[in-house]
Structures are given as C-alpha cells and as structure tokens.
Structure 1
Amino acid sequence: MNDSERRDFQAGLESEVDAFLKGESTRRTFITRFGQMTGMLAVSGPVLGMMTDWAVAQQKLELADPASPLGQAQALALKASTEGPADGSAFRATKAAKQFPGVTINMTSEAGLQALDPRNFSGPMWEQLTGTKMNVVELSNPDQYSKAVAEHIAGSRAYDVLDISPAWTPSLADGGVIAPLDEFITKYMNMKDFEDFHPLYKALPTYKGKIWGFFDDGDIFALYYRKDIFEDPKMMEAYQAKFNGKLEAPKTWAEYNQIAQFITDQMAPKTYGAGHFRKAGSPGNQFDFLQQFRANGGKLFGDDMKAGLVSDAGVATLTSMVASNAASIPGNNELDAVSLWAAFLTGKVAMIYSWPPTGRMAGNYSQSATAINFIPQSQIAGKVGYAVVPGNPEHAVGYNKALAADSANLEASYLFMQWVTSPEVSLARVMLPYALRDPYRISHYKSDLYGGLFPGAKEYLINLNNSANVGLLDPIMPGAQDYFLSLDRMCTAVWAGADPKASLETAATEWNETTDRLGVESQKAFYTEFLKLPGATAENTVEKLGLAVKL
C-alpha cells in the first residue's frame, strides 16, 4: 500500500483501490504519419480542415498502432467526434465545445496511473478537437475530496471537472461542491448513449432525484481461476472421488472453501487453492466482508439505524472468511492487492477475486505498458477462466466524473465530461493498457475490439457484465470510511484469533458511535437514499429488479 492510500484510511475518507497503483509515464507508439490514422476515416468538408490542424500537432498525441484493436478503437473515437453520427453524444459535445476556444478546463485526477489517460490521450485529443485547453491537476486520493471542499469554501474556482468516489456524492452535493447535470443532459446528450451505461452504473451518480455526474470506472469484483487446474483430468477425478461432484468454478462460498482446500491439499507448495488481500488497511477485508455479509442475508442497518452486524449472517461470514484463509497461500493475511496479483500471475494460487485489471494482467495485456512494470509477466496467459464471485460481488469504489459547482466554465466542462464518457471515446480509454479505467458500458462488454485484446478477453467482458448484474454497491453516505475502518479492524482481530461474535459486537458499537456522531436522523436520510440504488442490497440487484443485461 502506498503512502497516499494509507493517508486516505487514516483520514477517514473513502479509500480508492487504485491508489497504490503507481507508475511512470510511458510513450506509446506514435503515429508517424497522420495519414495512417485518417486513412481509416472518411474525411470531408469542414472536418478536413480540423484534421489538418491535428496533423500539425500530432506529436502531442499518444495513439496506438492503427492496425491494433486499441488503434482501431482510437480511430473510431475520432470518427465519432468528427463525423458523427450527428446525434451521437461525442459529436454533439465536440461541436458545441467549439464555441469555447481557448477556455482552460482544470480537471482533478488521482496522481499516478489514473492521470496518464487525461495527460496522454483524452486530454490532448479534446484540445485538438475543440481548442479547449486541458489542465490535469494530480492529487492524492484523499485530496481529491478535501481539496475540492477547501477550494469551494475559499471560492477560488480552482477546479472545473472532479474525479470523485461515488461515496462522496451526497456530502459534495449537499455541500454545494458539485452541480447537477440534468439540464445539460437534456440539452446535449443522446439518451440512447445514456441508456448504454450498465444499469448498475447508470444510477450510481443519482442522489435526491438528480444526476450528479457520469460514472467512469467499473470496479466490480470477479472470480479468476486457473482453467488448466480445474480441467486437469487427474484433479477432476480426485475431486469427483472425494466429493461426488464436478470440479468447476464455485457458486457458493461453501463450494469456494471446499475447492480451495482441495487444491491446496493436492498441489501445495507449488500451487495453493486461493489467495486474498487481507492485510490491514489493504482494503480487501472490508470489501470481502460487505459482499459476503449481504449475500448471506445480512442488513447493514436496522430501521432505527442501529448496526446490523451482530447476526447469524455476520458470524457465518467471518467463519467462512477464516476457512478461506486456512485454504490459502502462506502469508495470505499480509497480502495487499498488488502482491496477490503477483502470486496469481506467477502461478502460486489457483483462484482469486479482485478488480478488473486482474484479467488484463493475466492476459499480459497491461504489461505491454512500462507504467505497469511493477507487475510480473503473466505465466498463466490463456489458462484463466472467469466466473461471478459466489453470491453477490462487491463493486468496490469506482469513479464518477462530477462538475464543480463553482466552475467558471460550467458548460464547456460539462461537454468534456459528456465526450470523454461517451460510448466510443470511453471504449478507447478503458482499452488503454496503462490506465485503470475499467469497462462500464454495455457497448464496452459487447466490443469485438476489446474482445480481441488478449486470449479470453471476450469471456472476461461477458463475466464483468454478468457480475454487475448481481453486484452490490459500497454504502454511499457520510461516514462510510469510518464504518469501513471498523470492519477492517474487526477482521484483522479475527485473523489474530479473536472470537467472531465478540468482534462483531465491537464493530457494531463503533458503527453506532459513528452514526450518533454524524446524527441518527441525518444518517437515516442518507441511507434511505442509498437503498434506492440498484445494487444497494442483495434483494435489489440489477437482476432482481428485472434489469439484467444478457449477453
């Protein structure tokens, strides 16, 4: 875990899972002749003059090999922005933004890998398309919240576009830090493009009946497993003989623990059945508990806003997590997400559940960028299967693009947000090997270009979609990180041998103290708003609401 993520936890702000993923900027393949790119596009009329301007400034852009899937996706993003369709959100935003030449948009981004996209790709592209200047302000994750609030209080108008965690939306909206987008959406967006957001993500920036941003990072957990182990005839025969069942991706947590222990017993120390990032403050403990607890029928709060942790569901969840630890690689309880990735990529564990970069790394796609040089080359490329996490997977953190209410350039800033999250442009962005934006649109999941990035990419995308259909959201309310920290301390105590029920009682007491400090009625109002969102509980997932996307 890096210093910015640890400060985030200590400050009690929303943890950003990608904070520890740091890297140096890398230069992708440049287009040496602009004709290589424009050869894919039917350029005519006024667009041709704009393309000539592009040619003059082509050095500023980092575009992939035009023959590659990424290069083709970037070409389609250009085409959507310059040729249309004319009613497309990318084209309409680009056209309207030309009325603001020379305007500078100050956009916050988490420092490190997250900033490489706006610095190297989307920011320069927008500048060349519209003449609007882009200034990327790199901040640590906690500063993405605290500095936005501080600048609002100061009235400095320092920021225009904010990258924020969904959990911050209620407090930033009520505090007047961010502005609703509804009027701009009605004026500029093609609503068919709005409907292209997966239902779990489309509603995520909604609060008190208004839209406070565009979702921009699909951080759904998924299960990744070694197909070569699961399909090995000897392993299959041994599992059938012992359990009278088929060795396949687990559908319940009991099956998960049984399979993990079986593989460990059969293959350790070469390979262990599973691995988890359980290190204190990592923050895998909170995410894993939240997904299993709610899948087990647990309720976060009662009608009186008292913590619902002390329950049969709570005990069952911690008991299951302890069993998972016992079946895992040695040192499991000290792993963070990066070290768990390394263990999986080097063949040390047979199953993990984590964020979407896992699939790209396992296929050796991310490692094509030197910014990802802290991750080892995958030794399991082509051997990885994808499945939904048993029960309901956690959508762990993610990002929204929000409009700073104090912006001196509200309309220009909104137009950039609409453009950068449009179907065609966002596809090119989530395909960047060095960036950390993960698929979140239905068109992303269906993309043949993305499906050709690495072996199994098509199945990977389908599984991300299926996982979002049954996914659960992190609680979106003030104090969320304080609640999370209590869960982390609770789990860490149990790993050290503390009684699960007693640990649940301690965490519940801390939750109640947090609720009392922030105000019971106030917290109840925030929680009530959260419960309206698809995925807030295991009873109102996208699938349970009849909104599941079938691919």
Structure 2
Amino acid sequence: MNDREKRDFDAGLAEEVDAFLTGQPTRRSFITRFGQMVGMLPLSGALLSSVSTFALAQAELELADPSTPLGKAQALALEASTVGPKDGSAYRAVEAAKQFAGVNLNMTYEAGLQALDPRNFSGPMWQDMTGITSSVAELANPDMYSKAVAEHFAGSGAFDVLDISPAWTPSLADGGVIAPLDDYIAKYMNLADLEDYHPLYKALPTYKGKIWGFFDDGDMFALYYRKDIFEDPKMMEAYQAKFGKPLAVPTTWEDYAQTAQFITDQMAPEVYGAGHFRKAGSPGNHFDFMQQFRTNGGELFDENMQAGIAGPAGLKTLENMIAANTASIPGNNELDAVSLWAAFLTGKVAMIYSWPPTGRMTAGYSQTATAINFIPQSEVAGKIGYAVVPGNPEHATGFNKALAADSANPEAAYLFMQWITSPPVSLARVMLPYALRDPYRLSHFKSDLYAELWPDAKEYLVNLNNSANVGVLDLIMPGAQDYFLSLDRMATDVWAGADPQTALNTAAAEWNDTTDRLGVDSQKAFYEEFLKLPGSTADHTVEKLGMAVKLD
C-alpha cells in the first residue's frame, strides 16, 4: 500500500467508524474492499491475516526462581488458582473454565513488551490449569481500536479478549463491539475484589451504569528526581542564596521550571535540570498539556461543548511548558519516552515525569530481563527519589480488558479476564521485569513482595498510590484521539516557534470541528458521563471526593 492508499484508507475507516458509532448508515463493503486491497482481509473470512503471528501458548510453564520476590508472587498466584481460597476469584475462574478445555482464546495486546506477559507467563499458566490455549495478536496501539471495530463490522468473531484504552469504552460499548460483564461478575466473581482497585481505577470500565471490562494497567505519571543532586550541600547553598528559599522537589509548575533551570545553569553539560518526551506523536505533548491545563484551572469544554483550551489556563500551560523546555537537555523537543529514559538512566537529567516503568528501570530491576535491551543499564540506581507531579498528574492511557461482543467463547473469555486481573495473579504480572503492566490494585501498592524488588520499592509504590489520589484522567469519549492529536500538533508548532495563543486558537477550532462532526448533543452526553468519574477534573479527584487512600 502506497502513502496515498494508506491516507485514503485511514480517512475512510475514520468516517465509517464515526458513522457506525453515531447510528448513521455505514458501508460494510468499505472495510472488505480496502482490507482486501491492502492485505488486511483475505478474499473471504476475517481479518486474522492482518495481525502478527498468532502464536500458541507454551505448554510448559517456567516460573521465576522461587527464592526471589517474583518467584514467590508467582507461586502464590498458582496456589490461589489451584488450591484456593475456594471463594477467591482466581480459583473460581479456573474451576469454571475447565469445562472449556480445548478452546483457544484470541486476544489483542499492544505489540512488543506488553505481549510477553501472555506469551511467557499468564498464557502458559492458564493453559496448564484449564486446558484453554491462547493466541496473541500483537497490534500497534491505534490498530487495537480500528481492527476491533473492523472485525465487528465484518462479523468475524476473530477476537475474544480485547485490550482497550479506557478512552475507547463509550464508543466500543455503544457500537456493540464489546459486551457488558455484569451478569458474569455476579455469577463468578468474589465481589470483594472490586473493592481492591484504587478508587481512581475502579470506575474506569464503567459506562451508563454497566461494567465493560476490568482495569488492568495503572499508567500514572509520577516525578522521578536525583536525590543526590537535591541533597548536595553546595547545590542547596547556591539555591538558597539565589532564591531565598530551600532547594526542594517542586510542587508547582513554576517552581519546576525554575528548579530545572537552576540545575542546568549549575551542572550542564554534565547534567541538565529536566527532560521531556516532546517529539511529535510520542505522545507526551498532549498528556503533559492535559495534566498542567487542569492543574491551572482549565475546563476542557464549556456548557455548550465549545473548547475551553484557548483561554488563560491554556496560555499559562504552554508558557509553563516552554519554560521547562528551555531548562532541559538539548534535543528535548525531539525525545520520545524511550530516549528520555536513556538520558535519565545514564545520569544526564535530574528530573523527569513519566510512566511507572521509570522506577523499575532506574533501580535496574527491569534490566534483569533480556527483553529490556532497548535501554541502558541504570547508572543512577539508589539515587532516585519519587514524588507526585506538580498539581495533578495524568493517568496517561492504561488498558482495560474487555470482552469482544462477537466472541464465540464469551464465558471462557470472561473467566480468563477475571483470573488474569484477580489480586494474586495481577500482582505477579505487574512484578514481571519485562512486561509493562503497572500497579493498580490496593493489594499491589501494599505488597511486601513488590516492596522487596529493590531497596526503596515501597516508597515507589506509595508514591504511585498518592499520585492516583490526585490524578486526572484522559478524556473518555468518542473523538478523544482527534482532540489529542490537535493538542500534539499545537504543541509541536509552538516548539517550532509559533505564537502560543495563535496555536491555541487553531487547536480550539479543531476541537470544535471534531465536536460538530460527531454531534454536539451526543458529545455533550458523553462528556457529562466523563465528568462523573473521579479524576475528570482537578476539582473532582479521588482526594477532593474524600476517597483518598492513605498508605504508611
């Protein structure tokens, strides 16, 4: 497929998906015609040829050294699944699933490290206990949405379990792509497990009073900083002399830029004050704008669903981000998340905020897995502190496990989802050094075994919990990806020298065009549903709602 064909396909698919989700007539022939043209669909049948190789799960389960914290967690997961307690969700799922021995479950995962969990650990363990095999379709992140929709259009039944972004839940639920789980939950689950989710995450799979999946990835941004620099007597003395106050981990975005600039002025080129993944499409720009904008008091839409991003809060946010860029490592605006990790791990940067794998990588734990060969060994192990991002950190995407409505094996698929997200099994999974699932249950944050993974892992877990208490969510509504792309384009233009207010006005106009295209009344209803969720705004966080979880 050449570039023009790809653009035509993407535009056509977007049009068809939007029409389908808003109840307008669609052209099912579009998916078939273009799919056959570009090799996404065979001449007959489903989209199965479009995905990466469906590899059958290993028959032999290999667990970690039983003397290690990870090995102990895996043994406890196996025990909970096969011995009990018998009222536990893991045990009940395994016992019920044995009737489906011989079934194969097709599931989607983001390509790369995410897929190593079902290939190397959870898939083989499930097969050994139940006789149910699993096949993993590795997809690029955007394809995890579009291919699920395309398969539903085709009525193929190609997938059983879908990994989806919480932002996609309303679209996929209203479009009939995913099925509610409430009846299965009532039949099979120990309902106490629902109370084990941190309050920010518990509600994420809910929509219109039903549960459309199980949350499965705590992708909360946190601040990671060099304790040795912040505690250096010479640096402390110089900062006090210059600003008349102690050098401290910043709690406002103004202090963040000031502190980063001070460190850069004092230590560059050996060390720079900060670094950010600002590269277009990486996707740090829209995550960062969303978190700072709401901390600055911004409202995403007004009562008429007109974009609110171009007001004073939006301008202040861009000014904060520009100041942080100026204080950062050279090439800051071309970094993606992996290159930023590399800079931090090699000691070139004093502060970053990013996803939870940062903590495992800086401690050197992730690098114990050979699959983590794209980042250097940590040169800063033992020197890293953890803090809440100034104001309200972003819960940047994450995943829900959802049941494909067209699954030929819905009950077996549900039971797998209940098992894999149950407290003991999910703990073992978020402890895998090579996988990218991050803690999200209260039992994860309180786990003594996780706390043993590196010397200050307990502080890391407490900080992730505290960050979730004040965290804000990505938009969860149709068109979210279009809104995000507008923010990314806006920020990229500003980094290239565009006037911030002009760029904000352009992005706001694009937001309004997206809203108009999808329907103002329809989008307003979706947005009102979103505003009910803890973390939808800075005034509606878990903490502001009196639901904060306090850990010792």
Does the aligned pair in 1 maintain the 2:367–2:373 contact within 8 Å? yes
Deviation of 1:211 after TM superposition, in Å, equals 0.5
Deviation of 1:499 after TM superposition, in Å, equals 1.6
- Which residue number in structure 1 is paired with residue 445 of structure 2? 445
Q: Cα deviation per residue 1:76-97 (whole Å; 9 max; x = unaligned)?
A: 0001101111111111111111
Kindly indicate whether residue 82 of structure 2 is the aligned counterpart of residue 82 of structure 1. Answer: yes
Task: Map residues 471-550 of structure 1 onto 2, 5 A cutoff.
Answer: 471-550=471-550
| Corresponding residue SS for 1:398 | coil
- Which residue number in structure 2 is paired with residue 148 of structure 1? 148
Kindly indicate whether residue 399 of structure 2 is the aligned counterpart of residue 399 of structure 1. Answer: yes
More moved, 340-349 vs 141-150: 141-150
Deviation of 1:455 after TM superposition, in Å, equals 2.6
Q: Cα deviation per residue 1:400-454 (whole Å; 9 max; x = unaligned)?
A: 0000111121111111100000000000000111111011101001111111112
Deviation of 1:311 after TM superposition, in Å, equals 1.1
Q: What letter is aligned with 2:429?
A: R
Kindly indicate whether residue 432 of structure 2 is the aligned counterpart of residue 424 of structure 1. Answer: no
Kindly indicate whether residue 349 of structure 2 is the aligned counterpart of residue 349 of structure 1. Answer: yes
Q: What letter is aligned with 1:165?
A: S
Kindly indicate whether residue 195 of structure 2 is the aligned counterpart of residue 195 of structure 1. Answer: yes
| Corresponding residue SS for 1:380 | coil
| Corresponding residue SS for 2:307 | coil
Does the aligned pair in 1 maintain the 2:219–2:398 contact within 8 Å? yes
**Structure 2: distance between partners of 1:363 and 1:59:** 33
Task: Map residues 51-130 of structure 1 onto 2, 5 A cutoff.
Answer: 60-130=60-130
Does the aligned pair in 2 maintain the 1:179–1:402 contact within 8 Å? yes
| Corresponding residue SS for 2:371 | helix
**Structure 2: distance between partners of 1:225 and 1:542:** 25
Q: What letter is aligned with 2:382?
A: G
**Structure 1: distance between partners of 2:133 and 2:96:** 15
Deviation of 1:58 after TM superposition, in Å, equals 9.3
More moved, 425-434 vs 405-414: 405-414
Q: What letter is aligned with 1:93?
A: A
| Corresponding residue SS for 1:250 | coil
Deviation of 1:249 after TM superposition, in Å, equals 1.1
Task: Map residues 95-494 of structure 1 onto 2, 5 A cutoff.
Answer: 95-494=95-494
**Structure 2: distance between partners of 1:531 and 1:111:** 31
**Structure 2: distance between partners of 1:353 and 1:326:** 16
More moved, 326-335 vs 98-107: 98-107
Does the aligned pair in 2 maintain the 1:169–1:212 contact within 8 Å? yes
User: Aligned pairs, how many?
Assistant: 505
> What TM-score comes out, normalization by structure 2 length?
0.89
Does the aligned pair in 2 maintain the 1:104–1:132 contact within 8 Å? yes
Q: Cα deviation per residue 1:156-213 (whole Å; 9 max; x = unaligned)?
A: 1111111111111111100111000111111111111111011111100111111000
**Structure 1: distance between partners of 2:544 and 2:92:** 35
Q: What letter is aligned with 1:83?
A: V
> What TM-score comes out, normalization by structure 1 length?
0.89
Q: Cα deviation per residue 1:321-340 (whole Å; 9 max; x = unaligned)?
A: 01001111111111111111
Deviation of 1:59 after TM superposition, in Å, equals 6.7
Q: What letter is aligned with 2:86?
A: A
Unpaired stretches in structure 1, ≥5 consecutive residues: 15-56
| Corresponding residue SS for 1:99 | helix
Q: What letter is aligned with 1:205?
A: P
- Which residue number in structure 2 is paired with residue 28 of structure 1? none
| Corresponding residue SS for 1:159 | coil
**Structure 2: distance between partners of 1:504 and 1:545:** 31
**Structure 1: distance between partners of 2:289 and 2:111:** 28
Does the aligned pair in 2 maintain the 1:122–1:420 contact within 8 Å? yes
**Structure 2: distance between partners of 1:437 and 1:519:** 35
Identical aligned pairs, as a percentage? 79
**Structure 2: distance between partners of 1:499 and 1:378:** 39
Q: Cα deviation per residue 1:263-284 (whole Å; 9 max; x = unaligned)?
A: 1111111001000111111111
Q: What letter is aligned with 1:526?
A: F
Deviation of 1:112 after TM superposition, in Å, equals 1.5
More moved, 236-245 vs 464-473: 236-245
Unpaired stretches in structure 2, ≥5 consecutive residues: 18-56
Does the aligned pair in 2 maintain the 1:381–1:455 contact within 8 Å? no
Does the aligned pair in 2 maintain the 1:97–1:415 contact within 8 Å? yes
Does the aligned pair in 2 maintain the 1:295–1:391 contact within 8 Å? yes
**Structure 1: distance between partners of 2:455 and 2:533:** 35
Q: Cα deviation per residue 1:345-396 (whole Å; 9 max; x = unaligned)?
A: 0000000000001000000111111111010000000000000000000001
Q: What letter is aligned with 1:439?
A: P
**Structure 2: distance between partners of 1:141 and 1:310:** 29
Q: What letter is aligned with 1:448?
A: D
**Structure 1: distance between partners of 2:267 and 2:370:** 33
Q: Cα deviation per residue 1:32-56 (whole Å; 9 max; x = unaligned)?
A: xxxxxxxxxxxxxxxxxxxxxxxxx
- Which residue number in structure 1 is paired with residue 24 of structure 2? none
Deviation of 1:479 after TM superposition, in Å, equals 0.9
**Structure 1: distance between partners of 2:410 and 2:71:** 32
Deviation of 1:137 after TM superposition, in Å, equals 2.0
Deviation of 1:532 after TM superposition, in Å, equals 0.9
